[in-house]
Amino acid sequence: MPREIERKFLVTGDEWRVPGTGTRYRQGYLSTVPERTVRVRSIRDKAWLTIKGITVGATRAEYEYEIPADEASELLEDLCERPLIEKTRYRIDHQGLTWEVDEFEGENTGLIIAEVELDDEHQAIVLPGWVGKEVTGDRRYYNANLIAEPYSKWPLK
């Protein structure tokens, strides 16, 4: 079974920024129940359908399939829950790992999260200086949960 092992952190400061290097993502969810999420993601002229299982620790099942971009656009416009998740993703290499920094837009503006995918849940990592509090187990920061409770509506951030 394909697995995703990742840790998430809040981002502090701007040292991670490299102008002009981000990629815009647009994604929506067909299902956001905790036992499974079904996501449609569009990046430029490519798109994917992703099914993820429940997270245990930092691990969950993940299945991903490329789909036609025009069908993804229709799913995003007609069937996905609102609001859509819109963000710019930056990839930053640090100490042998690639960190993905997501700067959210729309109703989640102001939220910046860094994720790092690992080979093993207990893999040692060296945190970049711009990484702050770990939020791996905090469900509020799951993209699928940012639809029901967008960052802009959180009482205390």
Is 151 catalytic? The answer is no
CB 6 within 8 A of CB 115: yes
CB 16 within 8 A of CB 128: yes
Q: Which residue has the tokens 């009482």?
A: 155
pLDDT at 28 over 70: yes
Give dist(CA 4, CA 62) in Å, integer: 6
pLDDT at 141 over 90: yes
Q: How many CB atoms lie within 10 A of CB 55?
A: 17
pLDDT tens-digit readout, 35-47: 899 999 999 999 9
Give dist(CA 129, CA 2) in Å, integer: 31
Give dist(CA 142, CA 40) in Å, integer: 15
How do the domains of the chain map onto residue ranges?
Answer: 3-153
Model confidence at 157, in pLDDT bands (50, 70, 90)? low
Averaged pLDDT for residues 98-110: 96
pTM of the model: 0.91
Which has the minimum average pLDDT: 88-92, 111-115, 117-121? 117-121
Residue 147, SS3 per DSSP: helix
Q: pLDDT: is 76 or 18 the higher one?
A: 76
pLDDT at 105 over 90: yes
Q: How many CB atoms lie within 10 A of CB 113?
A: 20
Which member of 29, 141, 142, 151 is catalytic? 29
Mean pLDDT of the chain: 94
Fold for domain 3-153? Hypothetical Protein Pfu-838710-001 (2.40.320)
